[in-house]
Copies of this chain bind each other. A is one copy, B any other.
């Protein structure tokens, strides 16, 4: 198989972790006789520093010309504390999502048995949890009109959805539910929000086309609660952009750490694969970041963009073995971890390559 992959390291720990995602791509490429070629591009704070804009045209062109994109992380504390900044790293990520039509963000919450102890939740609550989130990614209050009054005393963002936006992601979620345990939970706030009422109407209508799927509707406040109380009750969860942002970060604690969660953004064209963790500037450049989410993003790329299911499974099982042998990065270590097996980014990346 011949594929051209664009690597966008982005900000903070992005560079360190994508190094290992890319290394895994190369290794599997060699082993399987695939011809993977690579290019690299800037986005976020790194791009602002170099070009003045968070998503240079060149990056967008390269993205459109590639078969898949491996992304690192975005953001910088400098902008977080300056709410008046006009140019912001995150604009790069939002723009590329929109420009590539990446309307469906898939976030699987899978649990490595070895990490049951690393979570704040009790093992008996966690065991058996397997959730696949479908987060809408190019609509909602993220992309609706933003306004600031001239006196700067009033600010607003429009939370808006169109029927076709809800429909296309809902279809993907229903199809995924059919291939899994046939349960779908759609999360909204239809008791208060008009956008949510449209959301619920569309999902209710579509549900009739998928009679084999058991469809449930839940309010976001209740969902945020149930996710902690009884995560096992969820299978496929479908939700809007903002609610999905919140719920999937919350759900990361089920997997023990954000450092273990990968995501796939798909839609009209090239697929985009990234860890759900952020740029974590506090540990950047210190060889401390967990590269497993980037490596798991590559597994998602194999499965979703290249249809290489076996290769994807090999990556997951290599990570499983590394964990079974007791190796951990600091974020997933606990009191029971053998101190000599706590690895930095590089050593963990190499360990996975070795086990592949």
Contact = CB atoms under 8 A, between A and B. Distances in A.
Contacts of A324: none
Interface in A187-213: 189-198, 200-201, 204
A246 interface: yes
A197 B84 contact: yes
Interface residues of A, number: 68
Interface in A38-58: none
A71 to B, nearest CB: 16
Given A83-B197, A83-B204, A191 B228 contact: no
Interface stretch (A6-14, A74-82, A303-311): A74-82
B194 A155 contact: yes
Contacts of A159: 141, 156-159
Interface string A246-263: 111110110000100000
A204 to B, nearest CB: 7
A84 to B, nearest CB: 7
B194 A157 contact: yes
Which of A158, A162, A247 has most B Cβ within 10 Å?
A: A158
A200 B155 CA distance: 12
A227 B200 CA distance: 28
Residue with the greatest number of chain B CB neighbours at <10 A, chosen from A94, A141, A229: A141
